Chains A and B, each alone.
Chain A
């Protein structure tokens, strides 16, 4: 007879509280033979959607493997839900949904059968797994296609099936390995908005690995950047990008003229093509007002006006170098 536990007896669900992180790593080192993949990596992952960013071969998939308890770090301490994956692997994995990078799945298996099976493997009863498999496939937009064989599905549909199987048992945390790999721009947008929904509306913490800066920037609350085998930066996106440090305007013409006017008023300006930016110290409104007034005085056609902050690309390039 199967041993059943109530969900309340399982590992703690994700907290999202910064002082009680879902995943924390302290000085994690991992090598495959003589090849060092990760060296002294320390990081924390809290609630919401977290991006694990790094170029190909940076160690993202290896880190996922360690979170799942499938590989052991050579040294350092890793905690998932406060537990050690080396000793509490099955307990941790019971509350994690995992979507691997590859698109290979049994071609003759129907999407619903696969998702239901994975639900049962994660401890759901047959009846619950059947119901939740249908629900999960509806959630990812494959409700009408759920009885199709996986071999007949497109890459985008298989990506969504992988997401559904990661979601079916209502995990506390979902690990998505390159979830937009192989998708066209439209499918990518849909997938990203779905992941964002999972991390916000569904209340499930998500860690997604990617080497695409813009998609991490688009949907993630926080980020862990891996570069050269180390954690180059980690934390909330807002925190990493820092305070607004300027205001930037894009003009159709008269950029130089507006720049001169602002320089005469004592602003530090920078012109690049039709893009004019001014540095601000503390007061964003003052900078916005000054730029707006100068543009109005010259009568330059304005395309956009917005605060300027560090982009994730700036952070990534800065930390990687």
Chain B
């Protein structure tokens, strides 16, 4: 055996292709997604996301089991697609409260943000990448269980009757997922942009979501404030929109028009996103 050693590897120039901003965004999305779900990390980093995902999928597994074991009682015993979010709303709130601080606070606390912004990314493309990551990660529980239900019911012969019904149902699943994701992500990002401490951010997100629900409920039901105040309940707003999408105008809050819901969701998402952008534009990332 030779005793020869390589002592100096020399420096090699790189003359290959270089990706531009979109390549950087794609890399950041993949990396953030993997880390948020605990991939390539220790055991404890995987526990919370895995647990929440299991909680979100559990009702779907139960419904599929019921539909499989009691096919005759399917229509009565199994909730519809539109009812599903009622079963997983706590998982949605918890997942959002976990995800946003993981995506935003960590980069600021570990100052990785400074390294990102010293690359082709800028503050807006960085935030857009993080928002897309949140959308992807939230889709696992906002869209995933319903797609699983659709697939399982279809295999059992209990799915939609024709192609149009299929496409309509798929459209509803994606639109409902988008409505929930838009509100929850923008609120969670806005809260997470104010603190570097993940636990504080997570607690604040839960308090903001549940607090808005309790407050509007007290004002509307207890103090007879106008019903449209319900548009300020950030838990109920997306769920009302989901009901509208699946069951029509008599559901959600019947006295609130579809347009009002649409304006509310766009306004909330826009204002909260603008707040996040403003916070990040003021950050000094080189310190």
Answer yes or no: are A and B bound together in one complex: yes
Chain B residues contacting A122 (CB-CB under 8 Å) are 18, 24, 119-120
Give bound CA distance, A79 to B40, whole Å: 41
Interface residue tally on A, bucketed by range? 35 or more
> From B112, which residue of chain A is reached at the shortest CB distance?
A106
* Interface presence of A205 (CB below 8 A): no
User: Which B residues between 13 and 41 are near A, CB-CB below 8 angstroms?
Assistant: 13-24, 26-28, 31, 40-41
Which among B23, B106, B109 has the highest number of chain A CB atoms within 10 Å?
B23
B117 in contact with A3 (CB, 8 Å): no
B116 in contact with A3 (CB, 8 Å): no
Supposing A94-B120, A106-B110 touch, asked if A4 and B14 sit within 8 A by C-beta, the answer is no
B286 in contact with A61 (CB, 8 Å): yes
Chain B residues contacting A268 (CB-CB under 8 Å) are none
- Residue of B11, B14, B21, B114 near A169 (CB, 8 A) is B14
A98 in contact with B11 (CB, 8 Å): no
Supposing A104-B109, A108-B45 touch, asked if A93 and B18 sit within 8 A by C-beta, the answer is no
* Interface presence of A39 (CB below 8 A): no
* Interface presence of B136 (CB below 8 A): no
A104 in contact with B111 (CB, 8 Å): yes
User: Which B residues between 84 and 118 are near A, CB-CB below 8 angstroms?
Assistant: 106, 109-112, 114-118
Give bound CA distance, A90 to B22, whole Å: 11
B121 in contact with A121 (CB, 8 Å): yes
Chain A residues contacting B226 (CB-CB under 8 Å) are none
B24 in contact with A105 (CB, 8 Å): no
B286 in contact with A7 (CB, 8 Å): no
A102 in contact with B19 (CB, 8 Å): no
* Interface presence of A65 (CB below 8 A): yes
* Interface presence of A184 (CB below 8 A): no
Supposing A7-B18, A65-B284 touch, asked if A123 and B24 sit within 8 A by C-beta, the answer is yes
Chain A residues contacting B26 (CB-CB under 8 Å) are 2
Chain B residues contacting A125 (CB-CB under 8 Å) are 16-17, 19
A138 in contact with B9 (CB, 8 Å): yes
A102 in contact with B20 (CB, 8 Å): no
* Interface presence of A128 (CB below 8 A): yes
Supposing A65-B284, A70-B286 touch, asked if A5 and B119 sit within 8 A by C-beta, the answer is no
Supposing A104-B110, A170-B14 touch, asked if A123 and B284 sit within 8 A by C-beta, the answer is no
A121 in contact with B119 (CB, 8 Å): yes
Chain A residues contacting B287 (CB-CB under 8 Å) are 61, 101-102
- Residue of A4, A105, A175 near B111 (CB, 8 A) is A105
A121 in contact with B114 (CB, 8 Å): no
* Interface presence of B222 (CB below 8 A): no
> From A96, which residue of chain B is reached at the shortest CB distance?
B118
* Interface presence of A234 (CB below 8 A): no
* Interface presence of B122 (CB below 8 A): yes
B18 in contact with A105 (CB, 8 Å): no
Chain B residues contacting A123 (CB-CB under 8 Å) are 17-20, 23-24, 120
Which among B20, B22, B42, B116 has the highest number of chain A CB atoms within 10 Å?
B20
Q: Would you list the 6 A-B pairs with minimal beta carbon distance, nearest first?
A: A123-B18, A2-B23, A170-B14, A98-B118, A123-B19, A90-B120
Q: List 6 A-B contacts (CB under 8 A).
A: A98-B118, A105-B112, A106-B106, A125-B16, A139-B9, A165-B115
- 19 more contacts with CB within 8 A, not counting A121-B119, A124-B16, A203-B13, are A3-B21, A4-B19, A65-B286, A70-B117, A70-B286, A71-B284, A90-B20, A90-B120, A93-B120, A96-B118, A104-B109, A104-B110, A107-B110, A108-B42, A113-B40, A124-B18, A125-B16, A139-B9, A177-B286
